[in-house]
Amino acid sequence: MTDIITLADLEGAARRIAQVAVRTPLLPFDRLSADLGADIWVKPEMLQRSGAFKFRGAYNFLAQLSDAERRRGVVAPSSGNHAQAVALAARMFGVPAVAVMPTTVTPAKRAGAERLGARIELAGTTTQDRWNRAVELVEAEGLTMVPPYDHPWILAGQGTLGLEIAEDMPDVGTVLVPVGGGGVSAGTAAAVKLRAPQARVIGVEPEGAAKLTRAREAGRPVRLEATSGLADGLLAVEVGGLPFAHHAIYVDDVVTVSDAALRGAMRALFDQMKLVAEPSGAITIAALQAGLVTPRGRTVAVLSGGNIEWSGFAPLLAE
């Protein structure tokens, strides 16, 4: 596999996950379509196994490891969703998994990884803190690292949702996708552009973690001093080098969204579509509601996940 993933890489990943992953549907968002005078659909990855798109990349990665690499066990540095995905994939392959999570991890995401059999290690609050601890565990215990986004197998796996969009809606005009470390946005953008080149792909990130915006301005990944906000799954301090290379080729634009807009989008998805989205999962709808993206043609908003429990969800809706 080359660094820049190909259509063959994406199709190979789709075959690997076909019997284990959920092929999430495209659902029409009629209320938002009426409000915007546009044709808006959602790709609800909260319906994916482990509650987020991350399972696609995690399973694709583990499926390509050697038996010896899997037997040693795997380690996943993660704010939550990647950890749960790797834990589930590891359980399917019958191998041990360690999740390195932030000290600020939400109870729902920690409990989810634990229920799936992962051993939990807590390390700081930043992506670098988690990565450093995971590297220590690789060296001390011989574990195999499963990167959250900066690897072609991860990008290809996550990009399978873009293949599904293009297959289910060949005439798609606009696709909005969340941006954290850049894996799902890079993989999805590549898949959409390779299958439906007429489509625009727009990345959406939190105002408090505008790492792709900064990278596009600089022409290279830029490490932010700090990140903050409700969208805990999108608070990477730097977009990955490999995802950025894909963004440079396939992503047309990037916009940033406020926390207030995220709350409104979560409420709209719950009230009007009966979908529970965590803040990161609702960010593309927030961008549309806030008028940050003008839909062109049939428009698909990727809802990246729903790993939030009532104790965390209800207070956000009440604000």
Supply the pLDDT for residue 1.
Answer: 42
Q: Output phi, psi for 51, to 5 deg.
A: 85, 10
Q: Kindly report the number of other CB atoms within 10 A of residue 175's CB atom.
A: 32
Supply the pLDDT for residue 319.
Answer: 67
Question: Are the C-beta atoms of residues 233 and 79 closer than 8 Å to each other?
Answer: yes
Instruction: Supply the pTM of this predicted model.
Output: 0.93
Supply the pLDDT for residue 61.
Answer: 97
Question: Are the C-beta atoms of residues 52 and 308 closer than 8 Å to each other?
Answer: no
Q: How far is CA 164 from the centre of its chain?
A: 15
CA distances from 158 to 34, 124, 149, 214 (A): 30, 26, 9, 23
**Where along the chain do its domains lie?**
7-48+151-318, 55-145
Q: Do domains 7-48+151-318 and 55-145 have the same CATH topology?
A: yes
Supply the pLDDT for residue 315.
Answer: 86
What is the Cα–Cα distance from 312 to 211, expressed in whole angstroms? Answer: 26
**What number does CATH give the domain 7-48+151-318?**
3.40.50.1100
Q: Residue with structure tokens 């600089």?
A: 218
Q: Which residues are designated catalytic? A: 54, 304
Check whether domain 55-145 has CATH 3.40.50.1100, yes or no: yes
Supply the pLDDT for residue 62.
Answer: 97
pLDDT per residue, tens digit, the chain (319 aa), is 458 999 999 999 999 999 999 999 999 999 999 999 999 999 999 999 999 999 999 999 999 999 999 999 999 998 788 999 999 999 999 999 999 999 988 888 899 899 999 999 998 888 788 989 999 999 999 999 999 888 999 999 999 999 999 999 999 999 999 999 999 999 999 999 999 999 999 999 999 999 999 999 999 999 998 889 999 889 888 999 999 999 999 999 999 999 999 999 999 999 999 999 999 999 999 999 999 999 999 999 999 999 888 888 888 887 6
Q: Residue with structure tokens 């961008």?
A: 287
